[in-house]
Structure 1
Amino acid sequence: MNKSAVKETMLALSESELEHAREHYEQFLASARLDRSEPIETDERAQAETASELAEAFEQPVHDYETKIDRLRAIDFGPKSEVGEGAIVNVGGRHFVIAVSTASFEHDGVEMIGISTQAPIYKAMEGKEAGEDCTFNGRKLEIEKVV
């Protein structure tokens, strides 16, 4: 499995999510601007202050995606023999990419999902090798493959 290509797929997915978040943020800012060519009413000023606070909430996902992309670029996707950052792990027929959380995606006909090292299932698998078992949500799972 070409892990560099998997990383590039994850980067493209995250960059697309970042662009989507930026578009939402910019649309919100455009709709929240006051028309300075007319007198500003008190209630308009209050609405503008509320909009400013909401803008911060729209801005946070932009920062989160930027951080995720930076983190993803820094991860070593070299060969792995145990579950750790940069590994692709097959458990119960599912493929987890240990890096950053992503929506599920397909690579070379295989459905994968990115998970972070903060994910509860990662904590259950951490440090395990292929053939070993882990327990997650009361279920025993076998680590089928680690690359």
Structure 2
Amino acid sequence: MKKITFLLFLCVIASCSNNVSINGCFRNTIQPITLDLNTPQLNGLLTPNGTAEVSGGINGILLFNKGTGGSFTPYIALDRQCPNKDCSTPMVSNPPVLECPCDKSKYSMLNGSLISGSNSCEGGARVYTVTQSGSTLQISN
């Protein structure tokens, strides 16, 4: 009985994980960025599939309204740097896809994962944490 309990415990521990993409190509850290949703710069975020660009990260940060809600923030923040680092031009947004203009690789704006093309990185596009408190958004590592 102890062996079964122990094996069950190991299975539970092994199945625990978070949904944060691990990316071996981006080693940058950012200072937390605080934004007010009421500013005109963020008007694009007011509707599902809306976007807004803010400075920060490696090559700028794209905020995307995933359209989810409830107790979860509907926003995701992605760095516009191409994960393959073969391009100095920021990735181009065509919701719900980010595309690297140099190698044409495409990444999901829902979670940063590779949709098509090649990727030498684990985890796809660099995703930052977004927390919301009322009309304030904070972007951090």
**Larger strand percent:** 2
Q: TM-score range by the shorter chain?
A: under 0.3
**Larger helix percent:** 1
Structure showing greater radius of gyration is 1
Q: TM-score, normalised by structure 2?
A: 0.27
Identify which of structures 1 and 2 has the higher relative contact order when contacts are C-alpha pairs closer than 8 Å and 6+ apart.
2
